[in-house]
Structure formats: C-alpha cells, structure tokens
Amino acid sequence: MQSNVDWLRPGDLRLALLRSRQLSKPVLVDFHEPTCGGCQQLERGTYENEEIVAAIHEHTVPLRVETTASDSATIQIVNTYISIASPSVQLISPTATLYHAFRETPRLTVLCAKQIAQGERRVYVEASCCPSPLRFLGQLWIGCGKAALQQQRWRCAMDYFERVSMGPHGEHTHAAEVEYWLSRATSRRDAENICEAVS
C-alpha cells in the first residue's frame, strides 16, 4: 500500500532503533491491520495529512507493521508489542521499550500461541476506533515529550507538552494527561536548576 509516510519495515527494526539512538527520536510503530476500520481511517485521515506526515518525519523514526504478514520479523514485533487490547500506534525507545501508547487508536490483541508457533499469527481487533488528526498530533507531542522525559531532557519535554496545552490540540486532548506530564517535566527541571544553583 502506498503511503505518504516513509515507513520502515519490520525487517528494519534494528536500523530503526539505531536511527532512534543516533537522532534522539523515538520509533513510531504503526500496527496496520487490514480488516480494521480504525486502521483504514488512520491511513486516510491522518497519514495523508501533510502536517502530521511532516511531524512524523521530523520527530520520529516511523516503522509500519502489516499484521497479516507472516515473516519472522513481523511475528517478533507483534508478539513483543501487542498483547491484549494494545493500542495500534506506539512510540518506542532505542532499547525497544515502550514510551507511549496512543490513546484512541484501534486496540489489537494477538491471537493464540498455537498459531504463533506455526507462524500463522493473526491479530484480533479489540476496538476499532480512530483519533481525529488533531488528537493524533496531540498524542504524538505527548509521546515525544515522554520520550524526552526518559532521556532527562526536561526543557525539551516541556516544549512538547506545551505544544499540546497551548496549541490547537489542547481542546482535543485530555487536559489532565498533559498537565500531569508537564508537571513531571517542570518539577524535574526545577529540581535540576536548584542542584546547579547549589553546586
């Protein structure tokens, strides 16, 4: 399927993680399930939006997983990042740990181990939903902010969270979510400032 996003493929995971480390950008993993209405809406409404595509390219290393593929790389990623009701869009770190699971994206569940062992993995759509483009962008900034928090880049994290709280995404995002992460970043930055002042 043609997409406006330059997706890496499951076999490129190591490359994606390497780029993530080198560029200090999280890997954006999109689990695309062809039978999922929400996934199709994401493709049409969000991944065709120029602002979002530009943001994805500038702030993440995008990687798409077609969940119906049966190659070992796909199976490994699906088994690592999809369990029960797992959001279909996730930001992961250079060490392949989860930074952020996008709210309101479709929820997927990987099907049974017997099939996985036979290389016949299937994915079950638990909830087929789709965030609006503005909500998606808000989630992207929150996720990038959480990534910056983990990297102890407090000011950078605050910038991302403030994009949401002060930008047009604010009214499309759960205020409590942004407030929580912004307060975490602010308190860590303040604590560091105090330490620097004391030393």
Cα-only R_g, the chain = 17
Q: Which residues contact 190 (CB under 8 A, 6 or more apart)?
A: none
Q: Output the furthest CA–CA distance in the chain (Å, rounded).
A: 60
- Residue 35, C-beta contacts closer than 8 angstroms, at least 6 positions apart: 125
Q: Which span sits near other proteins by CB under 8 A: 2-10, 54-62, 151-159, 169-177?
A: 169-177
* Closest distance to other proteins from the beta carbon of 3 (Å): 25
**Residue 121 in contact with other proteins, rule: CB under 8 A:** no
Q: Which residues contact 143 (CB under 8 A, 6 or more apart)?
A: 26, 91, 99, 100, 102
Kindly indicate which of the ranges 22-30, 52-60, 122-130, 155-163 contains the residues binding other proteins, using the contact rule CB under 8 A: 122-130
Is 84 near other proteins (CB under 8 A)? yes
Residue 133: CB minimum distance to other proteins, A? 20
d(CA 112, CA 105): 22
- Shortest distance, CB of residue 199 to other proteins, whole angstroms? 21
DSSP state of 145: H
Strand 27-32 and strand 61-66: pairing? parallel
Binding of other proteins at residue 156 (CB under 8 A)?
Answer: no
Residue 118 as a binder of other proteins (CB under 8 A): the answer is no
Residue 79 within binding range of other proteins, rule CB under 8 A: no
Contacting positions for other proteins (CB under 8 A): 80, 83-85, 93, 95-98, 101, 103, 107, 109, 111-112, 114-115, 124-129, 146, 149-150, 174, 176-177, 180-181, 184, 188
